[in-house]
Amino acid sequence: MFKLGLAAKDMRLLDELAGELAAPFGRGREVLSWYEQAEERGMAEQDWGAVALVDEPNW
């Protein structure tokens, strides 16, 4: 099991690195937003696949 909260953390680190390198991260930010929405709904300790339970990601 890979916790959703850890997946979100990794995506935040990738977003930060992309910013430092001036690299595009467009779709990555959408995924990060989806993960963060799941975290806000209390799913951080669940397997990262629980992100599928977020009905309408704010993309």
Sequential pLDDT tens for the chain (59 residues)? 999 999 999 999 999 999 999 999 999 999 999 999 999 999 999 999 988 888 766 55
Residue 31 falls inside a structural domain: yes
Residue 46 falls inside a structural domain: yes
Give the Cα separation of 7 and 9 in Å (integer). Answer: 5
User: What is the tally of helices (H) and strands (E) in the chain?
Assistant: 2, 0
Tokens of 52: 């599928």
Residue 48 falls inside a structural domain: yes
Residue 43 falls inside a structural domain: yes
Residue 44 falls inside a structural domain: yes
What is the reported pLDDT for 54? 86
What is the reported pLDDT for 59? 53
Residue 58 falls inside a structural domain: no
Q: Is 3 helix (H, G, I), strand (E, B) or coil?
A: strand
| Cβ-contact 39, 5 below 8 angstroms | yes
Tokens of 57: 């990601």
Domain enclosing residue 27, as ranges: 4-53
Q: Please state the pTM of the whole predicted model.
A: 0.84
How many independent structural domains does the chain possess?
1
Residue 59 falls inside a structural domain: no
What is the reported pLDDT for 13? 98
Q: Is 33 helix (H, G, I), strand (E, B) or coil?
A: helix
